Amino acid sequence: MKKLYLILGIMFLCVLVYSQIGYAEDEVLVREPTTVGQEYVPGEIIVKFKPGVGEDVIAKLNSRHNCGVLRISRFAGFRKLRISREKTVSEMVQLYKKDPNVEYVEPNYIAYAFWIPNDQYYPLQWNMNGGINAEKAWDITWGDPSVIVAVIDTGVAYEDYTQTVKRKTIRYYRAPDLVQTNFVAGYDFVNDDTHPNDDNGHGTHVTGTVAQSTNNSIGVAGVAFNCKIMPLKVLDKSGSGTYADVADAIMWAADNGVKVINLSLGGSSPSTTLENALAYAYNKGVTIVCAAGNNGQPTLSYPAAYDAYCIAVGATRYDGTRSYYSNYGSSLDLVAPGGDLTVDQNSDGYADGILQQTFGNTYNDWGYWFYQGTSMAAPHVSGVAALLISHGTATTPDEVRMALQSTAKDLGDSDFDPEYGWGRVDAYAALAWAPGPDTTPPVLSNGKPTGSIKNNTPTLSVTTNESATCKGSIKVDKDYDLMDFAFTPNVAGTSHTYPTTALTDGQYTVYVKAIDSANNVTKTSYTFSFTVDTIAPDQVMGVKVTTVSSSALNISWENNTAVDLDHYNIYRSTLSAFIPGPGNLVGSSTVSSYSDKNLSPATTYYYIVTAVDKAGNEGPASAKALGTTLGKKKTNSGR
């Protein structure tokens, strides 16, 4: 039977059909896959000599090149040689090629077993191998447990748990085909507790595509099944939820070590709350994958439409064409198998949906369900992103995006088109991606003098969008190495400041150049007018002295209204007729009070306070104020 969910606001993005398939829970031992990496054995070559070449000739040639025989093939007669450590394999191949006695020479190339999971219904998962080229990818990596994928959805059937709500006992169960899947602690933002169990089925299905327990002889496979899953529940039993909960879950995931977030949900309206949460996670290095939406319209749902932070994923059918329901448009980045339940293009006897385990009418009514939707497409991309990060192919959200987009199988028009984005994700090709040389220069802000201006030396400030080193010149543009001064960067190398030397009145042009770690240089310039500040703050008013003890007095005054006030100077004397100067300056304060300590007992002190601005201009002396410490003066006694 088919079930169609149309949910307003935030909704999960799938339609589904249910087909009950049995399963067996057989325990098997799992062997790690061979890592595909080296093309040939280091330090070895294979040489076949021409028929009739004598052993003495062969021995002399091998000795001349400092090579030793490891093995002679009993079947083909070739020789496996250990080469000199002073030569590379390619160098030694060229040396032997030049000898007329050699029939052929080549590296000792490495072959790898192509691994296919033994899950019972894996043959029905057309989406894995024919869809995203998963089998060749699994010969490289199954994912790493250090990489966590957050599934923000209806929850996940990840635990056996009993809960009592309003005297009603509710039992949740761990999906049998998620028993070997690794989970980390998540959160239920709908019910505000630490048990994000699935009461709908959607989140469990999505999780299966990312990391279903694989090669366990039952059920089906997941893309990155050695990675860990963080279940975060933001959609309720009906499949709907709020932007507020989604935003909180995104930020919670970013703060708790997640590398990839899967959002198989969406709404029709933009939201500052949602966009800010996405920006927060993206800036913390999280790759965010979102379903494009199921309206078949040329606009994407939110959050997928926030292209600056998200990888938006549409859906394709078995034949690689766009699924009829899949949204499309200029913000679409990739497509992945999402299914089409109206056809059976591969003639396997089932509608062409995406098969994963989830529950039916009750929380332990387990079966394998064919779903369709961009909700089903997105976790394919999330799984591949997790594989890339696990393998070290890509480490940042931008690198993950570039790896996925530049290696995708082109569909539709050449390169990008609005129906397929950059194409259908290819797991194996993405793992083979390597970043090209960095030729993009840093972006410089067009700043102006900012911050404190002391002694008429404005602080120049610029920012860069990446870590860089900045230099500058005033009035005359110069080559980077010849510029007059270097800016001081912050720890991240993105905020740069320089306090100028004392300036006179006039207009100044600052030339700034920035260079990044790849030696890409960019430049900017800006002009500002500067007038020497010679206006001192007004006189400080309302100075009062309060006795504290025999050795301390407190001085207070009214706040000065100077907008560029820097601090107050406090002067003291035991003489009533004194003029403030360096000899009687006792301290300074940035607030309108000062505690004067270590004074003599029973002594009267006179105080003057002045205001000083950021340019170093000192205002007129305040009216004198006096105070007397407690106690008695010491007197000399005679006999």
The answer to whether the CB of 154 falls within 8 A of the CB of 245 is no
Query: What letters, b where the CB count within 10 A reaches 16 and e where it falls short, cover 440-450?
Result: ebbebbebebe
Residue with tokens 């270590």: 598
Same domain, 374 and 310: yes
472, 511 contact by CB (below 8 A): yes
Specify whether the backbone of 628 is left (phi greater than 0), alpha (psi in -120 to 50) or beta.
Answer: beta
455 in the same domain as 356: no
Query: Does the pLDDT value for residue 18 go beyond 70?
Result: no
172, 296: one domain: yes
For residues 438 and 594, which has the higher predicted lDDT (pLDDT)? 594
pLDDT at 460: 84
Residue 123 lies in a domain: no
| Cα gap 541→535, rounded to integer Å | 18
CATH (domain of 73): 3.30.70.80
- The band of 20, judged by pLDDT with boundaries at 50, 70 and 90, is very low
State which H helix or E strand residue 427 sits in.
helix 427-431
Of 149-158, 201-210, 412-421, which gets the smallest average pLDDT? 412-421
End-to-end Cα, the chain, rounded Å: 120
Residue/partner pairs of 56-63 with CB below 8 Å, 24 or more apart: 57/101, 58/101, 61/96, 61/99, 61/101
CA-based nearest residue to 305, from 252, 250, 268, 258: 268
Q: Answer whether residue 438 is part of any domain.
A: no
pLDDT for residue 495 is more than 70: yes
Q: Nearest 5°: phi and psi at 545?
A: -120, 130
State phi, psi for 160 to the nearest 5 degrees: -90, 120
Token pair 């004598």 is at which residue?
54
Amino acid 635: pLDDT: 57
Confidence class for position 24, pLDDT limits 50, 70, 90: very low
Q: Are residues 329 and 405 in the same domain?
A: yes
Q: What is the CATH number of the domain that holds 178?
A: 3.40.50.200
Compute the C-alpha angle 316/318/320, nearest 5°: 50
Reported as a single tens digit per residue, the pLDDT across 45-104 is 999 999 999 999 999 999 999 999 999 988 788 999 999 999 999 999 999 999 999 999
Contact 628, 548 (CB under 8 A): no
Phi, psi of 112 (to 5 degrees): -125, 145
CA angle (474 as vertex; 471, 478 as ends), nearest 5:
60
Residue 82 lies in a domain: yes
- Domain end position, chosen among 76, 109, 142: 109
Same domain, 501 and 558: no
Tell me the pLDDT band of 26, cut-offs 50, 70 and 90.
very low
445 within a domain of the structure (yes/no):
no
β-pair type (260-263, 168-172)? unpaired
The verdict on residue 536 lying in a domain is no
Question: How confident is residue 38, by pLDDT bands cut at 50, 70 and 90?
Answer: low
The whole-angstrom separation of Cα 489 and Cα 300 is: 40
Q: Is residue 118 part of a domain?
A: no
> Do 422 and 475 have their domain in common?
no
Which tokens in the block code for residue 518?
């790849």
- Do 284 and 238 share a domain, yes or no? yes
- The set of catalytic residues is 153, 202, 375
- Whether 184 contacts 228, CB under 8 Å: yes
Q: Is the pLDDT of residue 28 over 60?
A: no
**Per-residue b or e along 477-504, where b marks 16 or more CB atoms closer than 10 Å to that residue's CB:** eeeeeebeeebebeeebbbbbbbbeebe
Q: Which residue has the tokens 């040396």?
A: 95
Half-sphere exposure of 376 (CA within 13 A, CB side): 34
Position 17 scores a pLDDT of: 38
Instruction: Please check whether residue 521 lies inside any domain of the structure.
Output: yes
Q: Report yes or no: 190 and 153 within 8 Å, Cβ to Cβ.
A: no
Global model pTM greater than 0.85: no
What local confidence, expressed as pLDDT, does residue 492 receive? 83
Residue 535 has pLDDT above 70, yes or no: yes
Mean of all residue pLDDT scores within the chain: 88
In the predicted structure, residue 337 carries a pLDDT above the cut 90: yes
Residue 619 gets the label, from left (phi > 0), alpha (psi -120 to 50) or beta, of beta
The helix-helix angle for 374-391 and 202-211 (nearest 10°) equals 30
Token pair, residue 105, equals: 């020479």
How many Cβ atoms sit within 10 Å of the Cβ of residue 627? 20
Query: Stretch 456-484: mean pLDDT, rounded?
Result: 87
pLDDT-above-90 percentage for the chain: 69
Using DSSP, state whether 383 is helix, strand or coil.
Answer: helix
Do 371 and 254 sit in the same domain of this protein? Answer: yes
Tallying the residues shown for the chain, one arrives at 639
Domain holding 576, by residue range, is 544-628
Compute the distance between CA of residue 12 and CA of residue 264 in angstroms, rounded to an integer.
6
Q: Is the pLDDT of residue 32 over 60?
A: no
Q: Is residue 344 part of a domain?
A: yes
Q: Which of 109, 142, 165 is the last residue of a domain?
A: 109
Beta bridge partners of 618: 612
Same domain, residue pair 377 and 234? yes
Number of structural domains (the chain) is 4
Query: Of the candidates 540, 506, 285, 556, which has an alpha carbon nearest to the alpha carbon of residue 397?
Result: 285
Rounded Cα gap, residues 13 and 424, in angstroms = 19
Binning pLDDT at 50, 70 and 90, where does residue 115 land? low
For residue 31, pLDDT over 90 is answered with no
pLDDT at 423: 96
The enclosing domain of 585 has a CATH number of 2.60.40.10
Are residues 305 and 245 part of one domain?
yes
Q: Say which amino acid occupies 302.
A: Y
* Same domain flag for 378 and 267: yes
Residue in this structure with the two tokens 């923000």, named with its chain if needed: 152
On whether both 55 and 179 belong to a single domain, the answer is no
DSSP for 30-96 reads --PPPPP--SEEEEEEEEEEPTT--HHHHHHHHHHTT-EEEEE-TTT--EEEEPPTTS-HHHHHHHH
- 108-141 burial, b for 16+ CB within 10 Å, e for fewer? beeeeeebbbebbbbebbbbbbebbbbbbbbbbb
